[in-house]
A and B are shown apart, each in its own frame.
Chain A
Amino acid sequence: MSAAQPALVIISAVAADPILESLQRRYASRSCLLTNLCRAQVTVDVGNTTAADRLLIEGVSVDVNRIHGIVVSGVACQAPPGYSGEDSRYIELETFAIWIALLSKARCRVLNRPRFGALPPGLSPFQVRAAARQAGVPTVTDELCTGADLLKRQARGTRTACLDLVTQSAFWLGSCPVFDDGRLYSATALTFGEPQVLLTYVAGRCEGYVIFPHESHAASSDALLPATLGEATESAHHLVSILGLDYGFLSFRSAGKRLEFCRAYAHWPGGTLSPVAERTAAALADELGRS
């Protein structure tokens, strides 16, 4: 991170994202990546127009009014060590609350700004799928299971996409430990090895790819039938308006003759993917340049 006033602030839940890395290269030392909101200090004023909102990141004071753009690509908010579970949770809620205000108020272009009329930021993939179903978007089914249920499925050799409702971490059954401590998981119909259609979305522009999530590589959009891309794009536009997203990734699976929505990501869900990363980063930079 630069010690000077950054032009671009990137907030991301993951430290290594090829798209954000590419975007950072374009801004060189004028960018700053924040992977844990609790590591920055914040001031936001309301009802007092003379004050300047600011950030303090690793001792560097950042004038929010002089930031050129902010990209929110997932949010991680983890309290520093040494606090009880209850205190940590409180610190995280308070920190998240102040950031919602800061991102909402910032004058610069904020990609994925919290929006009053949209669903709340930070919903789990399980909740996003419920919202998609409510909105009439064909969506992969979710089944709530205990750890014991999942272990039985695993013993049968089933390898479906699951979600830990506590940690919000997604995993393929069989690839990660399952906690049989009474917590609930979501098990979807999406199976390991099944290709997915992935749409990148940047401020109204969509590009589609076929991906094989476990192999971390993608084919080009040429592999998609125009009808498939059109169907996915229509669902994507509907979903991003509900979720209030300017930037994200939406995955779909093919279920017979129709596509089913699987998941919205705020960060690149695959591994290294240079052509896609470069094109998406260019679209992001272009969008930030419009402000």
Chain B
Amino acid sequence: MSFEALILGHVRDSTIVHVRTVAQNLGIRVAFLDIGEYLVDGSIEAASGQSIFRARGRAWSLDEFPCIYQRAYAALDASPQARSRLLALETGLYSCASEVINRPFGGWQNLSKPFQLLMLQDRFTVPPSRSTSIPDDYRLFREAMSDVIYKSNSGERSIVDRITPEHDGRTERLATCPVLFQRQIIGDDVRVHVCRGEAFAVRISSDAVDYRYYKARGSFAHLEPQATLPEDIRAGSIAFAATCGVALAGFDFQG
């Protein structure tokens, strides 16, 4: 049986579960490889110009799939063997001949949100943002902005939330670990996904600061697909994804 695509990810990753379900419903012949199993004792072998993925006694040539959708990552506390295998897998995916969504190292700008903002501020309006590990500089920013939210600087997923007086006791901890602060923008979220040069938007109304976590930190999140997008947003998103060399990208707007 030949496959039309390979899905490479963690079996319980909600995005992977969703993509597998959608692919199945659409009748797309997809193979699935569990990165969790691979990280235990798998290997990547470069042979005859091909990247061979081995896990649990089975071998797959990554190059034989027309397309690969991957979400390869390991937990922050992953073991040395898992970390070494992740690096090997990323390198195999980078080198293989298949179309990889997204190919490792493409979109690396996601490693640094303030860096991304710097790159995006010529295309879009970005909120006043301060990335800092200096407590006094944080206090000045907070005084200058009415409402402030905080998030991670890196690509590590974090729950975005509003700064409240309850956070004051944690300010000095900044000296060890920087945080990205932004003036809060009031309004609906608009998530724009760019896929192979096309933009798809959805408006999200929620009472949670971070709509992704509305179940824990709010009460609702309504998603409404948008038929149209302002041209500058559409064109800017598509152009930025292309410049990053990624086929699939997500952009968060608010207002």
Interface residues of A (CB under 8 A from B): 38, 41-48, 51, 54, 56, 79-80, 84-86, 89-91, 93-98, 100-101, 104-105, 114, 116-117, 119-120, 123-124, 126-127, 130-131, 133-134, 142, 144, 146, 164-166, 179, 181-185
The chain A residue with its CB closest to the CB of B107 is: A120
- Is B3 part of the binding interface, using a Cβ–Cβ cutoff of 8 Å? no
Extra contacts, 7 of them, besides A93-B154, A100-B112, A127-B90 (Cβ < 8 A), are A43-B137, A45-B130, A45-B131, A54-B137, A94-B178, A97-B155, A130-B95
Rounded to whole Å, the gap between the CB of B129 and the closest CB of chain A is 4
Interface string of B215-229 (1 = CB under 8 A from A): 000000000000000
A57 to B5, CA, bound (A): 50
Residue numbers in A under 8 Å from B194 (CB-CB): none
- Is B50 part of the binding interface, using a Cβ–Cβ cutoff of 8 Å? no
**CB <8 Å contact, A127 and B133:** no
The answer to whether residues A94 and B179 also contact, given A44-B130, A44-B131, A127-B91 and a CB cut-off of 8 A, is yes
Residue numbers in A under 8 Å from B87 (CB-CB): 124, 126-127, 165, 184
**CB <8 Å contact, B84 and A165:** yes
**CB <8 Å contact, B112 and A98:** yes
A53 to B118, CA, bound (A): 13
- Is B76 part of the binding interface, using a Cβ–Cβ cutoff of 8 Å? yes
The chain A residue with its CB closest to the CB of B126 is: A47
A-B contact list, 8 entries, CB within 8 Å: A41-B133, A43-B134, A45-B131, A89-B77, A100-B111, A126-B91, A127-B91, A144-B43
**CB <8 Å contact, A46 and B76:** no
- Is B159 part of the binding interface, using a Cβ–Cβ cutoff of 8 Å? no
Residue numbers in B under 8 Å from A104 (CB-CB): 115, 118
Looking at chain B's contact residues, the main secondary structure is mixed
The chain B residue with its CB closest to the CB of A101 is: B114
**CB <8 Å contact, A133 and B154:** no
**CB <8 Å contact, A97 and B115:** yes
The answer to whether residues A42 and B132 also contact, given A90-B156, A94-B153 and a CB cut-off of 8 A, is yes
A54 to B243, CA, bound (A): 29
Give chain B interface residues in 180-195, CB to chain A under 8 Å.
none
Residue numbers in A under 8 Å from B128 (CB-CB): 45-48
The chain A residue with its CB closest to the CB of B83 is: A166
Rounded to whole Å, the gap between the CB of B152 and the closest CB of chain A is 6
The answer to whether residues A95 and B95 also contact, given A41-B175, A86-B77, A120-B111 and a CB cut-off of 8 A, is no
Interface residues of B (CB under 8 A from A): 41, 43-46, 75-77, 79-81, 83-85, 87-88, 90-91, 94-95, 105, 108-109, 111-115, 117-119, 121, 125-134, 137, 152-156, 174-179, 243
Residue numbers in B under 8 Å from A130 (CB-CB): 91, 94-95
Rounded to whole Å, the gap between the CB of B118 and the closest CB of chain A is 6
A290 to B112, CA, bound (A): 29
The chain A residue with its CB closest to the CB of B129 is: A46
A43 to B137, CA, bound (A): 7
The answer to whether residues A166 and B111 also contact, given A48-B128, A95-B177 and a CB cut-off of 8 A, is no
**CB <8 Å contact, B126 and A46:** yes
Residue numbers in A under 8 Å from B76 (CB-CB): 85-86, 89-90
**CB <8 Å contact, A98 and B178:** yes
The answer to whether residues A46 and B114 also contact, given A116-B109, A131-B94, A182-B41 and a CB cut-off of 8 A, is yes
A59 to B153, CA, bound (A): 23
A44 to B117, CA, bound (A): 11
The answer to whether residues A181 and B175 also contact, given A48-B129, A97-B154, A165-B88 and a CB cut-off of 8 A, is no
**CB <8 Å contact, B84 and A166:** yes
Rounded to whole Å, the gap between the CB of A243 and the closest CB of chain B is 11
A259 to B7, CA, bound (A): 38
In-complex Cβ contact of B176 among A44, A91, A105, A114 (8 A): A91
A3 to B118, CA, bound (A): 30
**CB <8 Å contact, B134 and A56:** yes
Residue numbers in B under 8 Å from A117 (CB-CB): 243
Residue numbers in A under 8 Å from B152 (CB-CB): 94, 97
Residue numbers in B under 8 Å from A181 (CB-CB): 80-81
**CB <8 Å contact, A42 and B178:** yes
Residue numbers in A under 8 Å from B114 (CB-CB): 44, 46, 97-98, 100-101
